[in-house]
Structure 1
């Protein structure tokens, strides 16, 4: 009976195609996770924008001025905080997608059997495997937290300006 340790480590992937399928599964999983994170984040931000607009429209004479100052500022602070908390998760998903995409691109460029179909025609052109295209595709999700954080800073500043201009005038 032969010693199992003398055979060396077992192959993780049986074929190059198995490795390519694994990379694609990882990209798909991470893209799905990024999509869910982005959708949840956008849903929360949309809700906060609607609440902000509603609070700014408060016309109650007894407590309306105080309410339209404090609640919008709180919502702006909450929006910035949520953006700051959403950013690491979105960035982590982006980095993982980028990692697996780079591995897939390297495999497609260096293993002819992974990039050719049965007729010997490449499955992907160079243009489809370029890193720049991946960055552009993921750009919306990675820019959204910064965009909303900026909007919340502007909305908070607007709320302060409206009340300070109202007090001075």
Structure 2
């Protein structure tokens, strides 16, 4: 049986319990701040894990470039470091969506927090009188600048790995014995 939606039935009707979900504007602000803190911690953990993996890959790359075996060293130093650089590029490209997702969620909660602080007269007064809150803390530029390291890191490593792969191939092909 199909149901016809008429103008009388709304897709989202606010019930009295929805209005009091948070209780007070301070409860809502606390909730937004906890969400921001959680997502920022998640982004920080992702960034730390990513940088750790990349640092181990750089060490392995450098070690493989130092191979001096006379029989298979030239082929090894051409193939293995190049494959590691390709792995570095792919891991960077796969890390980017996770970083971007955290950034979008943090941006969303900052928007909600900013809207609350500007729209609710009670929160607005507390916002203006309290030294704990200031415009720099809740402005878009402030938190976005603090997230730029995590947002740029994968792209910087993509460039880094591409340059290392090019260098590796160039060095091995120009120094190969005829």
TM-score (norm 2): 0.85
- The CA RMSD over aligned residues, in Å, is 2.0
Paired with 1:40 and 1:115, the residues of 2 have a C-alpha distance of: 39
Which residue of 2 is the match for residue 153 of structure 1?
Answer: 162
Moved more, 114-123 or 98-107: 114-123
Alpha carbons of structure 1 residues 118 and 105: separation in structure 2 relative to 1, 3 Å = closer
Paired with 2:47 and 2:129, the residues of 1 have a C-alpha distance of: 39
Aligned pair partner of 2:67 in 58, 62, 73: 58
Q: Provide the secondary structure at the position in 1 that maps to 2:69.
A: coil
TM-score (norm 1): 0.89
Paired with 2:27 and 2:153, the residues of 1 have a C-alpha distance of: 35
Which residue of 2 is the match for residue 4 of structure 1?
Answer: none
1:83 and 1:149 in contact (8 A); partners too: yes
Moved more, 10-19 or 116-125: 116-125
Which residue of 1 is the match for residue 11 of structure 2?
Answer: none
Paired with 1:132 and 1:42, the residues of 2 have a C-alpha distance of: 25
Paired with 1:119 and 1:46, the residues of 2 have a C-alpha distance of: 45
Residue 112 of structure 1 deviates from its aligned partner by 3.6
Paired with 1:144 and 1:56, the residues of 2 have a C-alpha distance of: 24
Q: Report how many residues are paired.
A: 163
Aligned pair partner of 2:34 in 13, 20, 25: 25
Which residue of 2 is the match for residue 3 of structure 1?
Answer: none
